[in-house]
């Protein structure tokens, strides 16, 4: 859906998020589709040289980093490339516009970006400047914790020449057709000159394409005039507005920054990100609004601004209102800061976070749709999934021992529980003793159980196909080939584990004993 560059930011007064805002965003993300974005900015190559730092130099009082081979040097795209990776994780078709040097590093940067799925025809070679490279030396002392010892930057901050400027603008204009949104990522390396910014904004707005800007930390923001949204962090906003930071920071200071920034830079809206305090959104002719974020246990702000810009772009390109777009970017940035370093946040992880924050996944019971989303996140983090199923009527010590052992087969234990209707079909008209809600409640209190899901089929065939676990566990004294679901397990190449029940303990014997003693 194409959005008008001005109307996308004029949505009327914004109030504090209602209780269902996370649920609303969760549903919106389910409908996200691919979109074209043109990303203009400073593309870099991040390099790490790793080695042992176990002695001091005899020539000077500095540590010596000993790398074993050239394989200890790793390279990955950085700078605006991080935004490209974040956009790609959110389903974008990313077209890049910028410059690199005519050097080996520039060729490597373009190759790596192309390999990641980005369109790199708009990356112009500029023989007058080097490719921007951030080279970090990482030392490992006594084979323990890696520490950054030093960073060497290869770069030019000189503004682009008029010739290269013209080629960059031409490249932007040629790729703008069909774009849903334009992102401008400025790291003050000379690419986002006043003329480039002005023409990018003019060309985009003339075609009704919104322009989102992550600004550089400089005092003059006039080059971004006419943009749809600018997303400075607290420090960048203080540079532009020249407002002194109070001792305690705070949200009131964020309100003042947003209002003053909008006066300094005539754009449709400004989003001032405030780290742990969330963000403040202000639009023309409206009062600023605070949009909080959840407190996080780990805090590394590296890459948070990139994720904010990418999430805003994805949401706006998919027709989400500006206030909800900012809320979504808050959640995305919150996930980013829980990771040391830079990591793109995929849609599945965002949806899961929204599900958690909405309170819909309290406890272990899941709907099948929510469970599958959660498992997608677990798999992306390298966790193995174990599935078992049963009636669990009546729950006893044998069940507990069996589930505890099943959990030890992998990382995440999912338990499928037969509905009351199917328990009756399997066990007879006097069963279940405990209704499905009661059985779920008892199983949910077991620490070994990560997720519970009801299923209403006589066999677990459909559940196995849906969950597609790494390991399927069944309890009983029989061979794997005797399991009813054996055919689908073999078809899907799922590992089978048969665990023996505790001898002499089963639900039927427990029920019979209770009846005989009553």
SS3 of 31, please? Answer: coil
Contact between 129 and 101 (Cβ < 8 Å)? yes
Residues 407, 409: Cα–Cα separation, whole Å: 5
Contact between 238 and 217 (Cβ < 8 Å)? no
* SS3 per residue for 367-392: CHHHHHHHHHHHHHCCCCEEEEEECC
Q: Exactly one of 42, 214, 306, 324 is catalytic; which is it?
A: 306
CA distances to 211, 281, 293, 346, 353 from 333, rounded to whole Å, are 20, 15, 9, 12, 11
Residues 457, 287: Cα–Cα separation, whole Å: 55
CA distances to 250, 322, 342 from 260, rounded to whole Å, are 16, 20, 31
Preceding peptide of 432 cis, ω within 30°: yes
Q: Tell me phi and psi for residue 190, to 5 degrees.
A: 100, -10
At which residue do the structure tokens 């077991």 appear?
Answer: 446
Q: Per the structure block, which two tokens stand in for 148?
A: 């950054």
Q: Which helix (H) or strand (E) holds 471?
A: strand 471-475
Closest by CA position to 46, among listed 337, 342, 310, 307: 342
SS3 of 123, please? Answer: strand
Contact between 93 and 87 (Cβ < 8 Å)? no
Residue 219: partners with Cβ closer than 8 Å, 6 or more residues away: 239, 240, 242
Q: Which residues pair with 282 in a beta bridge?
A: 270
Closest by CA position to 303, among listed 100, 76, 124, 149: 76
Provide the CA 332 distance to its chain's centre, in angstroms: 6
Q: Is 477 a catalytic residue?
A: no
SS3 of 510, please? Answer: helix
Q: Which helix (H) or strand (E) holds 273?
A: strand 269-273
Contact between 417 and 390 (Cβ < 8 Å)? yes
Angle at 299 between CA 293 and CA 304, to 5 degrees: 65
Give catalytic residue positions: 306
């Amino acid at each position: 859906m194409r959005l008008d560059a001005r109307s996308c930011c004029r949505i009327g007064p914004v109030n504090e998020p209602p209780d269902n805002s996370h649920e609303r965003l969760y549903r919106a993300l389910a409908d996200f589709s691919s979109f074209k974005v043109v990303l203009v900015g400073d593309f870099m190559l991040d390099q790490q040289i790793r080695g042992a730092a176990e002695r001091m130099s005899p020539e000077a009082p500095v540590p010596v980093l000993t790398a074993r081979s050239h394989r200890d040097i790793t390279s990955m795209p950085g700078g605006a490339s991080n935004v490209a990776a974040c956009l790609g994780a959110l389903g974008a078709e990313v077209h890049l516009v910028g410059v690199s040097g005519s050097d080996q590093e520039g060729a490597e940067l373009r190759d790596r970006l192309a390999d990641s799925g980005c369109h790199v025809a708009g990356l112009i070679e500029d023989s007058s400047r080097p490719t921007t490279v951030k080279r970090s030396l990482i030392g490992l002392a006594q084979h323990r914790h890696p520490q950054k010892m030093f960073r060497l930057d290869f770069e030019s901050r000189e503004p682009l020449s008029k010739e290269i400027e013209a080629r960059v603008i031409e490249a932007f204009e040629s790729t703008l057709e069909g774009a849903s949104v334009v992102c401008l990522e400025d790291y003050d390396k000379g690419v986002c000159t006043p003329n480039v910014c002005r023409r990018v904004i003019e060309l985009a707005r003339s075609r009704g394409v919104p322009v989102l800007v992550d600004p550089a930390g400089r005092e003059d923001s006039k080059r971004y005039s006419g943009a749809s949204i600018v997303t400075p962090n607290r420090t960048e906003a203080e540079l532009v507005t020249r407002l002194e930071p109070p001792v305690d920071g705070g949200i009131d200071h964020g309100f003042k920054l947003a209002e003053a920034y909008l006066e300094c830079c005539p754009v449709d809206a400004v989003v001032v990100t405030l780290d742990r305090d969330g963000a403040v959104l202000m639009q023309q002719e409206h009062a600023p609004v605070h949009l909080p974020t959840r407190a996080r246990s780990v805090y590394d702000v590296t890459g948070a601004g990139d994720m904010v810009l990418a999430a805003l772009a994805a949401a706006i390109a998919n027709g989400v209102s500006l206030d909800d777009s900012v809320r979504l970017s808050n959640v995305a940035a919150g996930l980013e800061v829980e990771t040391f370093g830079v990591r793109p946040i995929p849609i599945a992880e965002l949806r899961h976070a929204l599900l958690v924050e909405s309170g819909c996944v309290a406890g272990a019971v899941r709907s099948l749709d929510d469970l599958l989303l959660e498992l997608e996140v677990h798999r992306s983090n390298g966790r193995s999934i174990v599935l078992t199923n049963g009636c669990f009527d009546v729950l006893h010590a044998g069940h507990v021992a069996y589930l505890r052992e099943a959990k030890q087969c992998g990382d995440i234990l999912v338990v499928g529980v037969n509905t009351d209707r199917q328990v009756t079909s399997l066990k007879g008209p006097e069963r279940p003793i405990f209704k499905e809600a009661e059985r779920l409640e008892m199983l949910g209190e077991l620490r070994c159980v990560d997720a519970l899901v009801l299923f209403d089929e006589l066999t677990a065939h459909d559940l196995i196909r849906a969950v597609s676990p790494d390991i399927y566990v069944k309890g009983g004294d029989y061979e794997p080939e005797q399991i009813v679901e054996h055919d689908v397990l073999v078809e899907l190449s799922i590992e089978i584990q048969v665990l023996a029940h505790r001898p002499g303990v089963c639900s039927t014997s427990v029920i019979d004993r209770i009846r005989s003693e009553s």
